[in-house]
Amino acid sequence: MLDIKFVRENPEIVKQNIRNKFQDQKLPLVDEAVALDKENRTIKQEVEDLRATRNRLSKEIGKLMGQGKREEANAVKAEVAADAARIEELSAREKEVEAELHKVMLQIPNIIDPSVPIGKDDSENVEVQRFGEPKVPDFPIPYHTEIMERFNGVDMEAAGRVSGSGFYYLMGDIARLHEAVLAYARDFMIGKGFIFCVPPFMIHGNVVEGVMSQTDMDAMMYKIEGEDLYLIGTSEHSMIGKFIDQILPEASLPQTLTSYSPCFRKEKGSHGIEERGVYRIHQFEKQEMIVVCKPEDSMNWYEQMWKWSVELFRSLDIPVRQLECCSGDLADLKVKSCDIEAWSPRQQKYFEVCSCSNLGDAQARRLKIRVKGEDGRTYLPHTLNNTVVAPPRMLIAFLENNLREDGSVRIPEVLRPYMGGKEELR
């Protein structure tokens, strides 16, 4: 969410940013916000003036009563009563205006970084660089659930009977591999100096509003019926929410946390064959990294965070590439974002496995997270998040890139301690 002062002073910049995101339907929101802000400030000024007048008249009443001028005092009392009624009327309107303004401001996109490429949607995202050589073996790669089924490692049919489509049972070595990847990712980030955390898996509505846009919320979140609780779509939601309404000492920055959680998503809409199986599902588990830092440090953290994703995937012998997200593909709170995509030998193309984002001070402003500087002044920190690893989707890339012609799956050296020393799956 933008600072209303910035919108008031730079409406054309805000409008051009909306155009750059190809959301022209939101252009009227800028003028609406400016008008509501003006009305709000006018109300506040009138209320302030009326209160000052009331205080002055109240003193005058005492003087008049002391002088025995009861009739004049009563006339002043009537004026004070009229002012009090007007203050009450204005205060009620002030609350309405502030609520309307808040609702409008939540819909205005964050200002994107100048380095973000301009494009309408994800088809115009820009490949930046590749890491590792993408290979296509000279034997056919089965669909990922077929590979898992060879190890009796997945049961989609039973999950369908129990929970419906978009769910799965992982079993045996595949389930163990799933947990091994998560454990390795956890220790990988601890090794980078991050504090490991297991957060709440449900959060209040005000936290949801603070960490994501209304559009994303409606498309993703499951609400608990009859309660002000939502199942998290990613642990970033509760991890950033951890700092709601807090004033952090500057010396405590950066806050670097890595969190494990299950994630729950509606995943509305129809999807192609490549997004079935365990690719696009309603529940999965993930290791996440989040950073809360000084504004001047956030871009350096952004660059470091996506590079760690590359390092982790390359340690598992999975070729990846970095894809810069264009303006039209950025969620409204994001300043800059990139995807790390893994190579699929079967599809002979890359697919998303990580997403790294710098959200500037948008989440901090919504959640009222502040930092107290050494000079005693407070300011808003920047927040960032990035996927460390998100199986079972990541397992698709792992199995395809480590599959051998005889049907066995090689276990990379870094993962063997988490697999009981196994060097392969057969």
Considering the domain architecture, whether residues 251 and 162 belong to the same structural domain is answered as yes
Helices 70-107 and 27-66, packing angle to 10 deg: 160
Instruction: Give the Cα separation of 331 and 12 in Å (integer).
Output: 21
- Write down which residue in 77, 107, 137 finishes a domain: 107
Tokens for 352, please give them: 């998303």
Considering the domain architecture, whether residues 12 and 131 belong to the same structural domain is answered as no
pTM for this one? 0.89
Tokens for 293, please give them: 């830092």
Considering the domain architecture, whether residues 326 and 411 belong to the same structural domain is answered as yes
Considering the domain architecture, whether residues 87 and 177 belong to the same structural domain is answered as no
CATH value at residue 43? 1.10.287.40
Per-residue confidence in pLDDT tens, the chain, 426 aa: 899 999 999 999 999 999 999 999 999 999 999 999 999 999 999 988 888 887 787 777 777 777 777 778 778 778 878 888 888 899 999 999 999 999 999 999 999 999 999 999 999 999 999 999 999 999 999 999 999 999 999 999 999 999 998 899 999 999 999 999 999 999 999 999 999 999 999 999 999 999 988 777 777 899 999 999 999 999 999 999 999 999 999 999 999 999 999 999 987 554 455 556 788 889 999 999 999 999 999 999 999 999 999 999 999 999 999 999 999 999 999 999 999 999 999 999 999 999 999 999 999 999 999 999 999 999 999 999 999 999 888 999 999 999 999 999 999 999 999 999 999 999
Is residue 393 annotated as a catalytic residue, yes or no? yes
Is residue 265 annotated as a catalytic residue, yes or no? yes
115, part of any domain: no
Q: Any idea what the Cα angle at residue 385 is, between residues 383 and 386, rounded to 5°?
A: 160
Instruction: Give the Cα separation of 137 and 410 in Å (integer).
Output: 14
CATH value at residue 287? 3.30.930.10
116, part of any domain: no
Is residue 370 annotated as a catalytic residue, yes or no? no
Q: In what order do the strands lie in the sheet with 247-249?
A: 247-249, 370-372, 378-379
State the catalytic residue, choosing from 259, 309, 393, 400. Answer: 393
Domain span at residue 200 reads: 122-425
State the catalytic residue, choosing from 355, 357, 365, 366. Answer: 355
Considering the domain architecture, whether residues 69 and 199 belong to the same structural domain is answered as no
Instruction: Give the Cα separation of 274 and 119 in Å (integer).
Output: 25
Considering the domain architecture, whether residues 291 and 209 belong to the same structural domain is answered as yes
244, part of any domain: yes
State the catalytic residue, choosing from 265, 346, 365, 370. Answer: 265
Preceding amide of 254 cis, omega within 30: yes
Question: Are 168 and 159 contacting, i.e. CB atoms less than 8 angstroms apart?
Answer: yes
Question: Are 258 and 186 contacting, i.e. CB atoms less than 8 angstroms apart?
Answer: yes
Instruction: Give the Cα separation of 425 and 86 in Å (integer).
Output: 77
State the catalytic residue, choosing from 209, 352, 408, 410. Answer: 352
Considering the domain architecture, whether residues 126 and 19 belong to the same structural domain is answered as no
Q: What is the pLDDT of residue 272?
A: 52
Is residue 285 annotated as a catalytic residue, yes or no? no
Instruction: Give the Cα separation of 312 and 391 in Å (integer).
Output: 13
Residues 6 or more apart from 98 whose CB is under 8 A from it?
A: 40
113, part of any domain: no
- Write down which residue in 107, 141, 176 finishes a domain: 107
Considering the domain architecture, whether residues 131 and 80 belong to the same structural domain is answered as no
Considering the domain architecture, whether residues 131 and 101 belong to the same structural domain is answered as no
300, part of any domain: yes
- Write down which residue in 73, 107, 141 finishes a domain: 107
Considering the domain architecture, whether residues 57 and 99 belong to the same structural domain is answered as yes
234, part of any domain: yes
Is residue 280 annotated as a catalytic residue, yes or no? yes
Considering the domain architecture, whether residues 194 and 51 belong to the same structural domain is answered as no
Residues 6 or more apart from 142 whose CB is under 8 A from it?
A: 150, 346
Strands 424-425 and 336-344: unpaired
State the catalytic residue, choosing from 86, 280, 314, 410. Answer: 280
The number of distinct structural domains making up the chain is 2
217, part of any domain: yes
Considering the domain architecture, whether residues 78 and 144 belong to the same structural domain is answered as no
Q: What is the pLDDT of residue 270?
A: 47
114, part of any domain: no
